[in-house]
Chain A
Amino acid sequence: MDILLQQIINGLVQGSIYAMVALGYTMVYGIMGLINFAHGEVVMIGTLVAISIVTLLVQSGMPPALAGAFGVAGAALVCMALGWSLERVAYRPLRQAQRLAPLITAIGCSIVLQNLAMMIWGRNYMTFPPLIEKTQFEFAGASFTSVQVMIVTVAALSMSGLLFLVYRTKLGMAMRATAQNPAVAGLMGVNANRVISSAFVVGSALGAVAGVMVGTYYEIAHYQMGFMLGLKAFTAAVLGGIGNLAGAMAGGVLLGLIEALGAGYIGDLTGGFLGSHYQDIFAFAVLIIVLMFRPSGLFGEKTGDRA
């Protein structure tokens, strides 16, 4: 039982990170209907910027927690600027083009960002300085750390903040209107370009926070870390129903749990035939089965005719 609980904790923390990154995908998708494949790299840049800032400040004698706050702020600013320029450079000019064109520019941007990051931060793995004291807790035989608690808390707070933004503010209303019908929203006085930009900016900011979370949790960062993380988060967003905020959150947490439980129990389930090397297969198999029965994800509304 304690093992199950431990696996659930593992999955929950990992899932919170996925959920945060998945929100970035889903915000853009919900409004524009396109996959921002470079989002994983935005997260990566966020982590690396935060590392640089925190390391610098901690070395100059600032308490780590405060330095961490500056790190998050700095990373968020850089990522917001990055998200904004990505939209301007790679997506806005292609809004009328065929559906796959922005996909290719996104891949191009990913490659550029990765290599830029490699030139700036080097090829080596970097260690993330600890931001808060890592105390270990025991609960019913399962152990977890203060960092994990912090990650889940911050994720929950950011997500509630996002929900507030989308459902209780004027900008949020404009976002929802643009998502429903950009042309009509435009007629109602919504500046679609600005709304789309803000979706990118908000998604990137969340990505930056997620990046810092990944950094503090695993205490490492690398210029190629964005790819897998982005892929997993994208999977999570689809699982929940891409374009749907609640779906992305649920999908993220669910994917984290599936992975942890899959790795932990797949061997027992299949009588030892499949081991933890099939962890990813397990995740994808769940995804495929879900999509077979609910073709637009768990929470997704029936999509239109967007092929």
Chain B
Amino acid sequence: MNKWLTPRSSLGLVLVAAALIALPFIAGMGGQAWVRILNFAILYAFLALGLNIVVGFAGLLDLGYIAFYAVGAYTWALLASPHFGLHLPFWAILPIGAVLACAAGALLGAPTLKLRGDYLAIVTLGFGEIVRIFMNNLNAPVNITNGAQGITLIDPVIIGQFKFSATSTIFGITVSGPQKYYYLLVLLALGVILVNYRLQHSRIGRAWQAIREDEIAAKAIGINTRNVKLLAFAMGASFGGIAGGIFAAMQGFVSPESFSLIESIMILAMVVLGGMGHIPGVILGAVLLTILPEALRYAVVPVQKALFGEVLADPESLRMLVFGLALVLVMRFRPAGLWPSPERRRELAEKVR
């Protein structure tokens, strides 16, 4: 791994770091809404990287990933809101959320170990829906999740007196709430990227890869496929849990609507579109798919005006239309994703031949 730190790559790292630090201020010039969109992009990158462990590394198609995100979000919401009157600090809640999500991951993994491919997909999908339905309905007989009404007034991330929701001035620089969350998210995302990289080239990572390529052969060479698969689910899930916690804190409100099936599908689309199993690709996919619809929101009307002189089609439907077309076209012309890993590209090239 030390081959990374050549002078050239360190220069690159410094440049990337500088860009990451400056980004929220550049985006902030266009309005805090852009910083917020940026935050969601990072949050989704975080989620996509978590799902990448399950889908990209271990090759297990998971259509219910949003369930773990929901578990994390609700953990935060219940432990840091007036709903139960609890206000635990963030360093306590995030690990609890991660552990709970991890347990949920193992719970999902256990009965599905024997399932393959599309059977697994539908069971995970069902699991995601089950979690959502429970959250939607657990307001009676005992009110736990407050049902569809959701939980409001959730505490933001607070470190000492430093609130992440409000604007404050640090060293003479005014930093808004979304900008602070940006830095928090970037830090967390760097963490998950690091874990992803380390995992990929570890013994476990190779075991996952073996299972992905051929489960029977993997078993034959002595990999405990059961444990390794469960580990993939659990690891992926715990990242989802952390992301969920941050989401709850950032929004200040959670309700089951935010954890619908379509979200799971979108995250999967990010992983596949970017380049399954390839970390930079997955990040690219997440950032693109989050920003594209938002950018289109701004672009659709002016572009139509420029081309035809008037607004012909309803901007909202056109926006999603373009989005759908983009998904089709990217997959059509880059089936391995926008930025696949070099090995993957080679494999595909061989297959085609």
Contacts and interface: CB of A to CB of B under 8 A. Distances in A.
Q: Do A and B come from one complex?
A: yes
Interface of A: 29, 35, 89-90, 93-94, 96-105, 107-112, 114-116, 118-119, 231, 234-235, 238, 242, 273, 275, 277-278, 280-281, 284-285, 287-288, 291-292, 295-297, 303, 305-307
A277 B272 contact: no
B80 interface: no
Contacts of A96: 335, 348, 351-352
Interface in B87-138: 111-112, 114-119, 121-123, 125-127, 129-130, 133-134, 136-137
Given A109-B328, A238-B122, A307-B212, 11 more contacts: A93-B335, A94-B335, A101-B336, A105-B328, A108-B325, A119-B314, A231-B125, A235-B122, A242-B118, A284-B126, A291-B123
B269 interface: yes
Contact of A111 (B134, B313, B324): B324
A94 B332 contact: yes
Nearest to A305: B216
Given A96-B352, A100-B61, A281 B324 contact: no
Given A100-B276, A305-B215, A90 B317 contact: no
A273 B327 CA distance: 43
Contacts of B127: 284, 288
Interface of chain B: mostly helix, strand, loop or mixed: helix
Contacts of B261: 231
Given A89-B328, A94-B335, A277-B133, A287 B122 contact: yes
A297 B320 CA distance: 35
B326 interface: yes
Contact of A297 (B59, B119, B317): B119
B158 interface: no
A293 B332 CA distance: 38
A30 to B, nearest CB: 12
Contact of B335 (A98, A115, A287, A292): A98
Interface string B183-225: 0000000000000000000000000000010111000000000
